[in-house]
Amino acid sequence: MSVAPETLIHPALRVAVIGAGYWGPNLARNFAMSTDWELVAICDMDLDRADALARKTGQPAVVGSLDELLEFHDVDAVAIATPARTHHAIAMAAIAAGKHVVVEKPLADNSVHGAQMVAAAAEAGTILMADHTYCYTPAVLKIRELLAAGELGDILYIDSTRINLGLVQPDVDVFWDLAPHDLSILDFVIPGGLNPRSVTALGSDPLNAGKSCVGYLSMELEHGVLAHINVNWLSPTKIRQMVIGGSRKTLVWDDLNPQQRLTIFDRGVDLDRQEMIRADVENRKGATISYRLGDTWSPALSEFEPLGLMVAEFAASIRGCRPAPTDGPSALRVLKVLEDASRSLAAGSTAQPTQNPTSVMENAR
C-alpha cells in the first residue's frame, strides 16, 4: 500500500551539543525533547559538567573534545554553545566534516571569521544557523507578520530598550552582550533585513571596568528611518521594550508584560490635517487637533517555547535544503553592526559601514 508523502515519518536527526555551560543546557533540553532530534552527545572539556548535563537529558554520550566527537560519534549536526572567540574554529571543523551547525549568538568574534563560516557552509552544502532565540518568540513572529502585511504603514522610527542590573561580562562590552538580541530582531522583522547606512555608538564605563557598561546605539536605516537601541548593565529596573512607529499605526512590544506583550496604537500625527492647519494662518490653535486618535488593540499570541521552535526550524531547514530563518547571512549582518558600533566607540564618531555582508563573504572565499 502506498503512503502519502505527508504521512511519512522522518527519522530523527542526530545532534551533539558542544558546551555545557550557561546556554548549552537549554539547547540540550530542547533537542532531547524534540521528536525531530536525537541528542547523541554532550561535548565539553569539563567532563563532570558534561556528565551532569547528560544525566538530565537522557544520558547521551559524554566527550571531552571536538576531535573525539567528530571521529567517534555519528551526528548530522552540532549546536555550539561556547564563547564567541571559539565559534569559528569549532564551526569550520564541523562544516569540513559535513555537519550542519547552529551557533549561539553572536555568530563569531568578528565579521571575517563569520564570513568564512558562511562561505564554508555554502560551499559544503550544509546549513549554518544562528540561535537568535528572540526571533522564534510568539511576539516577534507576530511583529514580523504585521510589518510584512503593511499593518503599520511605512516605518518612521524604532526605539528599543534592553536594560537591567546584569553581570559585567569578562570578554565583551554591553553592546556585544545585549544588543545582538535587538539587532537580530530588527533584521528578522524589517523587510529586506538590517542594512544601516550609518552606525553611531556612545558608551560609558562608570564602573571603570575597562569596557562600556551603558550604551546607546543609533542607526540610520533606509528612507531616513532612525533606529535607536539603549543597553545597560547598571539599571535597577529591568526593561525589555521596543517601539516601532509607522505612518499608519505604532506598535509597542513589552516583553515583560505576559498579559499584553504587544499593543497596536492607531494614534499619531495626521500629516494631511497638519498641512491644512498650517495653511490657515488665522487658526493657530487648530494645531492641537492635528493628531489621529484611533483604537488600541492587542493581538492574540500563541504560547510555546522559542527554543523548541528554533530546533524544529533547524531540522526543517536541513530536511528541506533551505536557509534557516536566522541563517548565516542574517547573523553576519548583525555581526557587522556590532563591529561598526565598536569602530564608532573607538573613533568617537559615526561609523560608515565599510563593506556590506555580501562583499565580506566574497572576500572570505
Q: What's the CATH number where 141 sits?
A: 3.30.360.10
Residue with cell 537601541: 229
Is 181 part of a structural domain of the chain? yes
Question: Do 261 and 120 fall into the same domain?
Answer: no
Other Cβ atoms less than 10 A from the Cβ of 299: the count is 17
Is 186 part of a structural domain of the chain? yes
Question: Do 67 and 50 fall into the same domain?
Answer: yes
Question: Do 323 and 206 fall into the same domain?
Answer: no
Question: Do 76 and 211 fall into the same domain?
Answer: no
* Dist. CA 138–CA 303, nearest whole Å: 7
| Helices first, then strands: H and E counts in the chain | 11, 14
pLDDT value of position 3: 39
The torsion angle over the Cα atoms of residues 333, 334, 340 and 346, rounded to 10 degrees, is -160
C-alpha cell at 118: 558562511
N-terminal to C-terminal alpha carbon distance within the chain: 49
Question: Do 172 and 183 fall into the same domain?
Answer: yes
pLDDT value of position 230: 98
Question: Do 119 and 155 fall into the same domain?
Answer: no
User: E strand or H helix at 103, and its extent?
Assistant: strand 100-104
Which residues are within 8 A (CB) of 73 and not within 5 positions of it... i.e. 6 or more apart? 16, 40, 41, 61, 63
Question: Do 129 and 140 fall into the same domain?
Answer: no
Is 343 part of a structural domain of the chain? no
Position 158: which residue type?
I
What Å distances lie between residue 326 and 135, 223, 241, CA to CA? 8, 25, 21
pLDDT value of position 359: 56
Which residues are within 8 A (CB) of 299 and not within 5 positions of it... i.e. 6 or more apart? 142, 146, 262, 264
End position of a domain, from candidates 303, 326, 347? 303
CATH number at residue 318: 3.40.50.720
Question: Do 273 and 326 fall into the same domain?
Answer: no
Strands lying side by side in the sheet with 234-246: 198-204, 214-220, 226-232, 155-165, 234-246, 250-254, 262-269, 291-297
Is 347 part of a structural domain of the chain? no
Q: SS3 for 157?
A: strand
* Dist. CA 266–CA 246, nearest whole Å: 10
Is 10 part of a structural domain of the chain? yes
Is 345 part of a structural domain of the chain? no
Residue with cell 510555546: 304
Q: Angle between the 328-347 and 174-189 helix axes, to the nearest 10 degrees?
A: 130
pLDDT value of position 272: 59
Residue with cell 535587538: 182
End position of a domain, from candidates 259, 287, 303? 303
Question: Do 326 and 236 fall into the same domain?
Answer: no
End position of a domain, from candidates 283, 303, 323? 303
Is 342 part of a structural domain of the chain? no
For residue 63, list its beta bridge partners.
Answer: 43
Q: Angle between the 24-33 and 306-320 helix axes, to the nearest 10 degrees?
A: 70
Domain count, the chain: 2
pLDDT value of position 128: 98
DSSP, res 327: B
Question: Do 35 and 126 fall into the same domain?
Answer: yes
Enclosing domain of residue 31: 5-134+308-334+355-364
Question: Do 242 and 327 fall into the same domain?
Answer: no
Q: Nearest-CA neighbor of 214 among 256, 160, 164?
A: 164
Q: Is the pTM of this model over 0.85?
A: yes
Is 349 part of a structural domain of the chain? no
pLDDT, block means (10 residues), the chain with 365 residues = 47 97 96 97 97 97 97 97 96 98 96 97 97 97 97 96 92 94 97 94 95 97 95 97 96 95 84 55 52 81 94 97 96 97 88 61 56
Question: Do 42 and 166 fall into the same domain?
Answer: no
> Is the Cβ–Cβ distance between 260 and 244 less than 8 Å?
no
Going 167 to 169 to 170 to 173, the CA torsion angle's sign is negative
